[in-house]
């Protein structure tokens, strides 16, 4: 099981990858057979090919990610964080308020990501 500090470091790497515009850094955090549901309630992406395609599109489209509170761990192989996504929507700077829950496999890669944000969490 990955240690709490390693999981938190990988969530920080996820934020940093976005903020450095480095989609490969983000993609490298995920396992080959990972599952990404962003937002929760949408059809999940399954497997690294779909996930890579998703982040190759989303990383350049995001201005920055900012933590809203310190990253949380757990007593198991999951960690979670509340953050804000700054994006331009139809020419206006907008913010999406999000909570991501990441679950890790034994090798320390993200095997599951769930992004909790709804229509009302977007503010323009």
Give the range of 16-24, 44-52, 55-63, 80-88 binding a second copy by CB under 8 A: 80-88
Q: Which residue of 12, 50, 57, 76 would you call a contact of a second copy, by CB under 8 A?
A: 76
87 near a second copy (CB under 8 A): no
Q: Which residues have C-beta within 8 Å of that of residue 31, sequence separation ≥ 6?
A: 48, 105, 107, 109, 110, 111
Mark 78-106 as b/e (b = at least 16 C-beta within 10 Å): bbbbebebebeeeeeeebbbbbbbbbbbe
92 near a second copy (CB under 8 A): no
**What residues make contact with a second copy under the rule CB under 8 A?**
4-5, 8, 39-42, 68-70, 72-82, 97-99, 101, 114, 116-121
């Amino acid at each position: 099981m990955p240690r709490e500090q390693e999981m938190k470091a990988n969530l920080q790497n996820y934020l940093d990858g976005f903020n450095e515009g480095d989609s490969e850094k983000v993609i490298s955090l995920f396992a080959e057979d990972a599952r990404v549901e962003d937002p929760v309630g949408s059809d999940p992406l399954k497997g690294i090919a779909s996930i890579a395609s998703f982040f190759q599109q989303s990383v350049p489209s995001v201005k920055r990610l900012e933590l809203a509170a310190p990253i949380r761990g757990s007593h198991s192989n999951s960690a979670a964080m509340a953050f804000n996504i700054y994006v331009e929507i139809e020419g206006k700077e907008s913010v999406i308020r999000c909570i991501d829950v990441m679950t890790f496999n034994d090798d320390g890669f993200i095997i599951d990501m769930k992004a909790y944000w709804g229509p009302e969490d977007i503010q323009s």
